[in-house]
Structure 1
Amino acid sequence: MVAVAVVAAVLIADYQGGHNPAVPAVNEVALQAPADPGPDPFTPSVETRGASALAPAPVAPTAQRPGGASPGSGSPALFHSVEGGSAGLYAGTMGKPSCDTERLIGMVSTGDTGRAWASAAGIAQAEIPRYLRSLTSAYLRVDTRVTNHNHKSGGVVDYQSALQAGTAVLVDDQGVPRVRCSCGNPLKPPLLVTKAKYTGTAWAGFQPTALIMVAPPPQPVTQIILVDIETGGWFSRLIGRAETMDQHVEPPTGPLAPGIPPPSPWQPSTPSGSATGSEPAAQS
């Protein structure tokens, strides 16, 4: 599969200040490392095991000024995307889920939390258990842009987020991340912003131009091809199964999709600043 550049909606982000601190400004993109649950998460972590891309150390945030549309131009921009079925987009451990789905179901299915969670996910509250069991656990291998959510006093606020490689997620049958396991938050595709202000602590190697969004492939996928975080080898994981069903596969033939790094082992871990610039232009 190949990466494609798709036109995304543009939010005009001439933020004037004075907003409620609990509500992110329209042009803010929160930088979130794998163990960072973010503000007002829905749940404690439901990761079964953490992972990080060789445990990069945080670095002081720096101003980013990538090419493409100039900051504040308000002109339509393009966003680099990778199809959800692309080999190597995700990682995992053979036979071991990265998230405890049943535990998550027990925490977000009922009461006010359940109503808020369902609203954020765009489903009926009664569908939460079935929906979560239809998702498949994995780790991101590329820094990824999403729309995240926080939950406070029964309300839900969506905000833009950049998730670092190594983040545990649940993905749907199109290979698109739908839940973040360190916080239980529903995820949706990102909204592109101009004059983006990246908030939080930037990790080593962070570059706005390297961020991707995961786009649905033309057809749903029945399996995803993952990199084993312990060996750097390859295996397949069936999508939409309550149990984890994996098997070894041969390395993919041909090049990986642009933006996906070569396979390598990762460091397992115990679950548990700001930068500015425009969103990246299209990558070719």
Structure 2
Amino acid sequence: MSTTETTRTPVRPGLPLALGGRGGTVLGLGTATIFMSAVVLLPLAAVVWTAAEQGPGGFWDAVTTPDAWAALKLTIGLSLVVSLINLVMGTLIAWVLTRDDFPGKGLLNLLIDLPFALPTIVAGLVLLTLYGPESPLGLTLAYTRAGLVVALLFVTLPFVIRTVQPVLRELDAEMEQAAASLGAGPWTVFRRIILPNLLPAMLAGTALAFTRSVAEFGSTVLISGNIPFQTQVAAVQVFGRIESNDTAGAAAVSTALLSVSLLVLLLIGLVNRWGARRG
């Protein structure tokens, strides 16, 4: 055998090789598609299909009954208020946790994730105990819209904070220092350098907070009192319709909520793309 010859081991095509090439991409895409279809797409399609069974007229009649329309308007209005509060306070808290050091910072950072771990019905019970008719704080918010705002703020607290924090950590401090050395004040540095970088994350977190508020049930069902035209939110209204065996009506209201959430996410995506092109 010539010294220039090399021994080659034949390669058998199989799963390990496929995973490293196009076959792996196809396999991964197929698995992800099947999983997403089973968990997300098919249930959503079933809800929309049920809502559409009575035709456009039946759908419109279901979502425009006085109680359903009032619940939808209340839910969207409260969600907007909660999202704006989260936009400001969530960004402020993320700033403090990222830029400042203080006693108890680790505990506060841990507590922010509590709404993710705590069942929302438990959160509703805690809020009802704190702000109910026998409130130990002497503050009665149960069965009021203010109580609903507090409940929605509790469950949406982490979204803006956890979306903004990583961006704050990655910001180039040298840019801020250079601007300050050229005479820019703190507000100018924030407005010209920090805010443009934070804005996409702030908007994304706000959109997530809004969509969570729109669909929230557990934390609101107890503290709201479910009073039609006053404190009945759309998710609780849907539950009431299911209990009354009005599945089509419940699906119609659910589809309306889904449409609003998708529209908000789409608008935020368009704004982020516009901002990226300008940057």
Confirm or deny a common fold (TM above 0.5): no
Kindly indicate which of the two structures has a greater share of residues assigned to helix. 2
Q: TM-score range by the shorter chain?
A: under 0.3
Higher relative contact order, structure no. (Cα contacts within 8 Å, ≥ 6 residues apart): 1
Kindly indicate which of the two structures has a greater share of residues assigned to strand. 1
Higher Rg of the two aligned structures? 2
